[in-house]
Amino acid sequence: MKNILKINNLSKNFGNVSAVNNVNLEVEVGSIHSVIGPNGAGKSTFFNMISGVLPPSSGKVYYKNNDITGFESYKLPHMGIAKCFQITNVFPKLSVRENVWSSVFSCAQKSKFDFLKPLSNFKYVAEETEKIISDVGLSHKINDKAEELSHGQQRMLEMAITLGAKPELLLLDEPTQGLAPEATLEMTKLIQKLSKKYTILLIEHKMHIVMEISKVITVLNFGEVIDEGTPSEVKESKKVQDAYLGRG
Amino acid sequence: MNKYTIICLIIFILLGPFLLPNATITEMLIFGIVAISTNIMLGYTGMLSFGQALFFGTSAYISGLILLAGFPIFLAIPIATLGSFLISLFVGYFCVKREGLYFICLTFAFNQMFYFIAYVWTEVTGGEDGLVGITRPEFIDTQFSFYVFISILFLTSLYLMYKIITSPLGLIFKLIRENPSRAEAIGYNVRFFKLVSFSIASTFTGLAGSLYVLIHSMVPIDQIHWLKSGDIIFMTLFGGVGNFLGPLIGVVGYIWLSDTFSIIWARWPLIMGVIFAIIVLYFRGGVSELLENLVKKSQSYFKKNKDEKYIKN
C-alpha cells in the first residue's frame, strides 16, 4: 500500500472550541477515500486545512512524503493537488472556455513570464481546454458565460476547472451539494470515472453515494475519527449509526 | 478593439488639435493614459484605488525637478516613470495585503502622506505654490511639435496596455475580479498579481504625470492632492470600466465639460456631481456602454428593415 496523502494528528482550535481533534488519515494511491460525518462534525474545517485555506493548530500534512502543512493554497495545484468546492465556485462573467483555459494555463506555464506572452503561443493549452470541456459534456456551451449555465452545468464546469490543473490528487468537498437527484447520479458516475485516473479524497454527508463508490471511509464526529473501514464495515458499525442518529 | 474603434481613435487624434485648444487636447491625451491604466486596475482587476494622484503628482515633481536641474527630457521622463514604478511596489506591497474598503483606505492614506510631504517640503517642491519655472525643451517648443510628441507617447502607452490586457495576464486580472478565492485555488498567487496590476496602473499614471509638467511648465500642488485621485476615478467610471478605451471617452467628456462649465458658472462641480450621480445610478457601464448599446440597437434596427424589404420583394 502506497500513500499519496498522509495526515498526522491534525487539529484545529477556534479559541476554546476544538473543531478538529487529532485526526490521522492515509489516502492510498488510486482509491476513493471518503470522509463522512453528520453536520458540524468538522469535515469542512478538515478539508480547509488540507487545501491550505486554514492553517492547522497542530499536526502535519504530507503529500508524497513532502511536508505541505500550512502551504498557501495557490501552491498546491502546481504540486498536483486540485480541489473542488462545496458551493459552485466559477468565474461567472467569463466564458466556459476562459474558465477552464485559466486553470489549464496556471499549471502548464513553462517559464515565469509566460503570462506576458500572446495568447496564440499557447495552442497546447487551448487543445487541452477543449478536451476537458468535452469530457464533462459542455462542448455545446463552450462560448457561453458561466453565469448563463444551469446549476448542474455549473457544477460540471467547476469539475472541469479542477481537472484543468492535471492533478494527481483530487480534493472534493461535497460535490453533490444541492444537486437534483438525476444530477447527483450523473456526478456520482463522473466521480467513479475520474477515480480511474486520479486519487480522490471525498468529503460528503450523503451516505448512499459514499457507500456506493468509496474504497475506504473515515467517519468524523465532533472533530474526531470515530471509525474507519470499508463501506460494509462502516455500515455495520454501531458507533456510526449512533452518530448519525444523534445518539453519539 | 475592432477596426472602427481604431479609426475613431485616429480621427480623434488627427482632428483634436483643430477642434480644441492645444492645452486642452494634450491634457486629454495625458489623462487618457491615466484613466485607461487606472481601468486595468479598476475595471479588469476590480481594485478601487483612491491614491492614483500620489503617482501622478510624485512623478510630476520628479520630472519637474530633473528638468529644473538642467537635465534633458529623455532623462526626466524615464527616471520619473521608474520612480513611480518603485514607489508603486513599495506602496502596493502594503495595500494589497487588504481588500475592499481597507484597500481603498490604505491607498488614500498613502496619498495623503505624500501630499503632506510635498506640502511641507517647500525647499524642494515649492510647497503650496507648486514647482514653477520649468521650460520645455526646444524640439517640442511649438504647439504642433508638442502635440505630436504627446500623441506618440500616448499611442505607445495604449499599444503596450492593450498588449497587457490581451495577454494571459489580462485574463488573470479578470479571474481575480470575478472570484479571487477560486483564482487562488487554481494556482494563481492573487496577492502577487494584484500588486502587478497596481504597479502597471501606477507606472503608466506616473508616465502621464511626468508629461503633465510640460503643458503649463509647472507642477501645481493639487496634482498630488487626493481630490485628483477622485477625479481620476470619476473620469474612468464616467467613460465606463467595461471597455478598454471607455475611460478615454470619460476623460474627453470630463475635461471638455469642466472647461465649458467653468467659464459659465463658478459652481460647475455641482453640475458634474449631478451627471456623475445619473451615470452611476442608470448607466453602470458609463458612456461607452451607452454608445455600445446604441450601436447594437441601430444595427438590429437596420437589419430588421432590410429583412422586411427582403420579405416584401
Does some domain include residue A85? no
Q: Which residues of chain A have pLDDT under 50?
A: 248
| Position B132 pLDDT exceeds 80 | yes
Q: Are residues A238 and A182 in the same domain?
A: yes
End-to-end C-alpha distance for chain A, whole angstroms: 32
Residue with C-alpha cell 482632428? B15
| Residue ranges making up the domain that contains A157 | 90-166
Predicted confidence at residue B271, as pLDDT, reads 82
CA angle B268, B272, B278 (to 5 degrees): 150
3-state secondary structure chain B: CCHHHHHHHHHHHHHHHHHCCHHHHHHHHHHHHHHHHHHHHHHHCCCCCCCHHHHHHHHHHHHHHHHHCCCCHHHHHHHHHHHHHHHHHHHHHHHCCCCHHHHHHHHHHHHHHHHHHHHHCHHHHCHHHCECCCCCCHHHCCHHHHHHHHHHHHHHHHHHHHHHHHCHHHHHHHHHHHCHHHHHHCCCCHHHHHHHHHHHHHHHHHHHHHHHHHHHCCECHHHCCHHHHHHHHHHHHHHCCCCCCHHHHHHHHHHHHHHHHHHHCCCCHHHHHHHHHHHHHHCCCHHHHHHHHHHHHHHHHHHHHHHHHHHHC
Q: Is B109 exposed, middle or buried (0-12, 13-18, 19+ CB in 10 A)?
A: middle
Q: Can you tell me the ipTM of this complex?
A: 0.81
Paired sense of beta strands A3-14 and A58-63, if any: antiparallel
Query: Pick from A75, A102, A119: which is nearest to B166 by CB?
Result: A119
Least confident of A57-66, B213-222, B283-292: B283-292
From chain B, the residues in CB contact with A161 under 8 A are: 182, 186
Of A166, A194, A226, which marks where a domain is finished? A166
Least confident of A61-65, B143-147, B264-268: B264-268
Q: Are residues A162 and A172 in the same domain?
A: no
CB distance from B308 to chain A under 8 Å?
no
d(Cα A245, Cα B161) in Å, to the nearest integer? 60
- A217: domain CATH number? 3.40.50.300
Considering its fold, how many domains does chain A have in total? 2
End-to-end C-alpha distance for chain B, whole angstroms: 37
Does some domain include residue A116? yes
d(Cα B101, Cα B104) in Å, to the nearest integer? 5
Predicted confidence at residue A239, as pLDDT, reads 80
Cβ contact (<8 Å) for B182 and A89? yes
Higher pLDDT, B49 or A240: B49
Predicted confidence at residue A247, as pLDDT, reads 58
Cβ contact (<8 Å) for B168 and A51? no
Closest CA to B223 of B237, B234, B208: B208
Chain A closest-CA separation from residue B260 CA (Å): 38
Question: Mean pLDDT across the stretch B141-169?
Answer: 91
Query: Pick from A83, A119, A161: which is nearest to B168 by CB?
Result: A119
Q: Are residues A63 and A177 in the same domain?
A: yes
Q: Are residues A172 and A248 in the same domain?
A: yes
Which residues of A lie inside 8 Å of B (Cβ-Cβ)?
51, 72-78, 82-83, 85, 89-94, 98, 101-103, 105-107, 114-119, 122, 161-162, 164-165
From chain B, the residues in CB contact with A114 under 8 A are: 168
Predicted confidence at residue B306, as pLDDT, reads 66
DSSP class of A244: H
The one-letter amino acid code at A11 reads: S
From chain B, the residues in CB contact with A105 under 8 A are: 168, 171
Of A166, A186, A214, which marks where a domain is finished? A166
pLDDT tens digits, one per residue of A45-103: 888 888 888 888 888 888 888 888 888 888 888 888 888 876 778 899 999 999 999 99
Q: Are residues A135 and A22 in the same domain?
A: no
From residue A88, alpha-carbon distances to A91, A150, A185, A191 in Å are 10, 11, 17, 16
Predicted confidence at residue A159, as pLDDT, reads 84
Does some domain include residue A156? yes
Does some domain include residue A213? yes
* B25 CB-side CA count, 13 A: 19
From chain B, the residues in CB contact with A98 under 8 A are: 171, 174
Q: Are residues A175 and A161 in the same domain?
A: no
Question: Mean pLDDT across the stretch B268-291?
Answer: 82
From chain B, the residues in CB contact with A78 under 8 A are: 187
Chain B closest-CA separation from residue A13 CA (Å): 23
| Position B22 pLDDT exceeds 80 | yes
Does some domain include residue A140? yes
CB distance from B174 to chain A under 8 Å?
yes
Q: Which three cell numbers stand for residue B309?
A: 424589404
pLDDT-derived band at B151, boundaries 50, 70, 90: very high
From residue B66, alpha-carbon distances to A189, B61, B279, B292 in Å are 69, 9, 41, 43
Q: Are residues A175 and A59 in the same domain?
A: yes
Residues 113-152, chain B, touching A (beta carbon < 8 A): none
Nearest CA in chain A to B160: A116
What's the whole-number average pLDDT of chain B? 88
Domain extent listing, chain B: 14-225
Does some domain include residue A199? yes
Predicted confidence at residue B57, as pLDDT, reads 92
Give one DSSP letter per residue of A31-86, joined into a string.
-EEEEE-STTSSHHHHHHHHTTSS--SEEEEEETTEE-TT--GGGHHHHTEEEE-S
Q: Are residues A63 and A116 in the same domain?
A: no
Q: Are residues A176 and A246 in the same domain?
A: yes
Predicted confidence at residue B201, as pLDDT, reads 94
Of A124, A149, A166, which marks where a domain is finished? A166
Q: Which three cell numbers stand for residue A36?
A: 463522512
Nearest CA in chain B to A162: B186
The separation between CA B154 and the C-alpha centre of its own chain, rounded to angstroms, equals: 11
CB distance from B183 to chain A under 8 Å?
yes
Q: Are residues A151 and A38 in the same domain?
A: no
| Position B309 pLDDT exceeds 70 | no
Nearest CA in chain A to B165: A116
From chain B, the residues in CB contact with A115 under 8 A are: 167-169, 172
Q: Are residues A73 and A172 in the same domain?
A: yes
Task: Count residue pairs from A and B with Cβ separation < 8 A.
Answer: 83
CB distance from B185 to chain A under 8 Å?
yes
Q: Are residues A38 and A75 in the same domain?
A: yes
Cβ contact (<8 Å) for A77 and B185? yes
Query: Pick from A114, A117, A164: which is nearest to B186 by CB?
Result: A164
What sign for the dihedral angle of Cα A75, A103, A146, B45?
Answer: positive
Predicted confidence at residue B155, as pLDDT, reads 93
CA angle A81, A87, A92 (to 5 degrees): 95
Nearest CA in chain B to A119: B167
Chain A closest-CA separation from residue B202 CA (Å): 18
For A201, residues 6+ apart whose C-beta sits below 8 A from its C-beta are A5, A27, A33, A34, A35, A50, A169, A170, A171, A172
Predicted confidence at residue A209, as pLDDT, reads 81
Question: Mean pLDDT across the stretch B129-153?
Answer: 86
